[in-house]
């Protein structure tokens, strides 16, 4: 593929998974890319840099995103081909319901539509398979395919090396203080830089650079706990799938240890508070709701050690969808939202790259990235 003649260079602000995926999508089309980050690259303060992230077809009420997932998986496959190795491990998933809601029925219908396996398990059967679970209070359990773990630290460092080879330029420790989306320039502490296009992918900080997203893409402080369980539980966890437990007070997701990662648990409910400049250490108040949810959902929780209580940031929109905007003739911005921005990044970035290069109108890309249009574009 070759670039549209008028777009030879693009500046991307923010080097999380979205910024890196944009650089990948653009540089494989022959465009010269310069990446700016306010911190090191990759940045431990970013939403993206962590040990693992879930990739899955199951999507609850967000039907539009469920329909995008087959192409999102193909986008990852294209990335693995370019990197020369895969950083995805299929584990399957188990969803445990401890209260009645429509999430399961929606998900079951979506998976059937996509031809992904999905099987109801009784409470006794799910606990037989996963003896770390507490059987009391389980009303339904579903085992699904098409799910597994992405390994962000490996993905991001491999992408950085790959992009470096392709000639992408990195400007680390260079906060961007202003973006001109008409001129495609950015102002930094080291001067003003320009290109043919500028794309802002600044994660939870995005509202500071793109006024139209201020108050729309809201930073949300979320806690995760890295855990050391007792050895008999650890043996179960080491071959466990991704486990999601939904209760009235909590939406706990548990990621098992794989490929050098630790056991991690988090709560998907949004805090909708916090400043992304804060440190990343979870407080007792951050931890309490997760611990309370764990005690209901899992056995022997008091014998698990919390080895790292960590705070991180989601960027949340009111309907949990991505926002793609064009604030000026030559400038774009994307907010990869809520708890699902990692899995969709290579796909959505490819759509935004197509818009920035004039191959697709932004009016088509924005609703598509929001999961509100045709699920599949001619990208992968
Ligand atoms: C605890 C947790 C669990 C999650 N689980 C999942 C999951 O299982 N599956 C999934 O798909 N998604 C998940 N997500 C969501 C996903 O990780 C995010 O949506 C995604 O990583 C966002 O990427 P991003 O590149 O948009 O933002 P970020 O990764 O935050 O990157 C933005 C970058 O912009 C830089 N920046 C900001 N302002 C400036 C500036 N002025 N100048 C220069 N640089 C700047 C920042 O330093 C940062 O490096 C989870 C998120 C969290 C926090």
Q: Is the CB of 336 under 6 A from ligand 1?
A: yes
Residue 58 covered by a domain: no
- 287 and 170 in a single domain? The answer is no
Residue of 253, 251, 233 whose CA lies nearest to 242: 253
pLDDT of residue 3: 47
Q: Do 107 and 226 share a structural domain?
A: yes
36 lines ligand 1 (CB under 6 A): yes
CA 316 to chain centroid, in Å, comes to: 12
Q: Ligand 1 centroid to 53 CA: how many Å? A: 12
The pick from 12, 15, 16 for probing ligand 1's pocket by mutation, whose C-beta has the most ligand atoms within 8 angstroms, reads 16
Residue 131 lies in a domain: yes
Domain that residue 20 falls in: 9-49+153-217+319-369
Does residue 61 form part of some domain? no
Q: Which of 221, 228, 223, 229 is nearest to 310 (CA)?
A: 223
| Pocket of ligand 1 contains residue 342 by CB under 6 Å | yes
Cα 205 to ligand 1 centre (Å): 9
Phi, psi of 137 (to 5 degrees): 95, -5
What pLDDT score was predicted for residue 86?
A: 98
Say which DSSP state 298 is in: B
Is the shortest distance between the CB of 205 and ligand 1 below 6 Å?
yes
Flag whether 111 is in a domain.
yes
Residues 157 and 209 in one domain: yes
Question: In angstroms, what is the span from residue 335 Cα to ligand 1's centroid?
Answer: 9
Q: Are residues 308 and 228 in the same domain?
A: yes
Of 155, 198, 110, nearest in space to 346 by CA: 155
- Give, for all 380 residues of the chain, the pLDDT tens digit: 444 558 999 999 999 999 999 999 999 999 999 999 999 999 999 999 999 999 999 888 888 999 999 999 999 999 999 999 999 999 999 999 998 878 788 888 889 999 999 999 989 999 999 999 999 999 999 999 999 999 999 999 999 999 999 999 999 999 999 999 999 999 998 999 999 999 999 999 999 999 999 999 999 999 999 999 999 999 999 999 999 999 887 789 999 999 999 999 999 889 999 999 999 999 999 999 999 999 999 999 999 999 999 999 999 999 999 999 999 999 999 998 778 999 999 999 999 999 999 999 999 999 999 999 887 788 89
CATH code for the domain of 16: 3.50.50.60
E runs forming strands in the chain: 9-13, 32-36, 53-56, 88-90, 93-97, 118-121, 140-144, 147-150, 169-171, 176-180, 185-188, 191-194, 197-200, 218-228, 242-246, 251-255, 263-267, 305-316, 323-328, 331-335
Residue 18 belongs to some domain of the structure: yes
228 and 296 housed in the same domain: yes
Residues 362 and 328 in one domain: yes
- Together in a domain, 135 and 261: yes
In a domain, 311, yes or no: yes
Ligand 1 pocket member 160 (CB < 6 A): no
- Is 73 among the domain residues? no
Cβ–ligand 1 distance for 332 under 6 Å, the answer no
Describe the crossing of helices 345-356 and 362-369 by its angle, rounded to 10 degrees: 170
Instruction: Quote the number of domains for the chain.
Output: 2
Determine the Cα–Cα distance for residues 353 and 12; give it in Å rounded to an integer: 11
Look at residue 5 in the predicted model and tell me its pLDDT. 53
Q: Based on the domain organization, do 184 and 41 belong to the same domain?
A: yes
83 occurs within a structural domain? no
Same domain, 264 and 341: no
**Phi–psi pair at 303, nearest 5 degrees:** -90, 5
134: left (phi over 0), alpha (psi -120 to 50) or beta: beta
Q: Tens digit of pLDDT for each residue in 60-71?
A: 888 899 999 999
Same domain, 180 and 326: yes
Q: What is the DSSP letter of 21?
A: H
CB atoms near residue 148 (< 10 Å):
19
Over residues 216-270, the pLDDT tens digits come to: 999 999 999 999 999 999 999 999 999 999 988 778 999 999 999 999 999 988 9
CATH number at 261 reads 3.30.9.10
């Amino acid at each position: 593929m070759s670039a549209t003649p008028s777009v030879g260079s693009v500046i991307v602000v923010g080097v999380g998974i979205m910024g890196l995926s944009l650089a990948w999508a653009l540089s494989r089309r022959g465009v010269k890319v310069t990446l700016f980050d306010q911190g090191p690259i990759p940045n431990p303060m970013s939403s993206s840099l962590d040990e693992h992230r879930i990739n899955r077809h199951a999507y609850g009420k967000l039907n539009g995103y469920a329909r995008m997932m087959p192409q999102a998986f193909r986008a990852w496959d294209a990335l693995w081909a370019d990197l020369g190795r895969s950083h995805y491990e299929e584990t399957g998933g188990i969803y445990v319901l401890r209260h009645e809601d429509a999430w399961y029925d929606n998900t079951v219908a979506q998976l059937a539509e996509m031809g992904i396996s999905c099987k109801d398990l009784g409470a006794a059967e799910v606990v037989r398979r996963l003896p770390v679970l507490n059987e009391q209070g389980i009303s339904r359990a579903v085992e699904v395919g098409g799910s597994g773990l992405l390994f962000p630290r490996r993905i991001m460092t491999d992408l950085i090396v790959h992009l470096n080879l392709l000639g992408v330029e990195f400007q680390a420790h260079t906060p961007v203080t202003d973006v001109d989306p008409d001129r495609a320039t950015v102002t930094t502490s080291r001067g003003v830089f320009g290109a043919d296009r500028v794309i802002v992918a600044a994660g939870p900080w995005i509202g500071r650079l793109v006024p139209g997203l201020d108050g729309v893409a809201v930073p949300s402080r979320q806690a995760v706990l890295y855990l050391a369980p007792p050895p008999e539980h650890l043996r179960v966890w080491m071959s466990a799938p991704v486990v999601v437990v939904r209760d009235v007070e909590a939406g706990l997701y548990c990621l098992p240890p794989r490929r050098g990662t630790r056991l991690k648990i988090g709560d998907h409910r949004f805090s909708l508070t916090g400043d992304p400049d804060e440190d990343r250490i979870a407080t007792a108040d951050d931890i309490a709701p997760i611990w309370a949810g764990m005690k209901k959902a899992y056995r022997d929780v008091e014998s698990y050690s919390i080895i790292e209580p960590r705070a991180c940031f989601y960027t949340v929109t009111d309907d949990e969808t991505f926002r793609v905007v064009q604030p000026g003739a030559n400038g774009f911005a994307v907010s990869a939202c809520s708890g699902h921005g990692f899995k969709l990044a290579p796909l959505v970035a490819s759509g935004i790259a197509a818009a920035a290069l004039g191959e697709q109108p932004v009016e088509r890309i924005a609703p598509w990235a929001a999961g509100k249009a045709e699920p599949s574009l001619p990208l992968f």
